[in-house]
Amino acid sequence: MDRFRKLGSLKNIVKYVRNNKGRIICHDQDILNGMFNNQYKEIPLKWNVNNTMYRFVTSLRHTYSDQDARAARLNPGIIHFTGDKPWHWGWAPHPLSDEYWKYLKYTEFYSSAETEFALSKLIQAHISRIRSCFP
């Protein structure tokens, strides 16, 4: 943590982002990787199962094998909803969206999230209906 505090000061982070704007694709992850420049301990991929593991993406270089990715998809430790998020109506559904809603029920945020999600669906339906009236 001492090393993180030294390298991860807001001033250093802002400087890194300014100097590497064109290279940062995965936001916080790229910044952490750049700031620590190979000074990390690799952990199993199952602790960061993200959306790109469920579709073919050519814009990102992966350092893990297809076998590692397959094993992580089958037994994720942490599901990192990057891109398509279960709480954004209208996005392509994530294969593990049901897990998000399942565990959200155990939190105090479930009722408000459910209401907001239902309202966003209703608004989108009305927008579609209005648009269909004006060809």
Segment 19-45, tens digit of pLDDT = 998 888 877 888 888 888 777 777 888
Mean pLDDT of the chain: 77
The stretch 71-85 carries a mean pLDDT of 86
Which residue has better confidence, 71 or 64? Answer: 71
The stretch 93-99 carries a mean pLDDT of 79
Distance CA 113, CA 119 (A): 10
The pLDDT assigned to 117 comes to 67
Angle at 27 (CA atoms; ends 95, 38), nearest 5 degrees = 105
- pLDDT surpasses 80 at 103: yes
Q: By percentage, how much of the chain surpasses pLDDT 70? A: 74
Return the DSSP state at 93: P
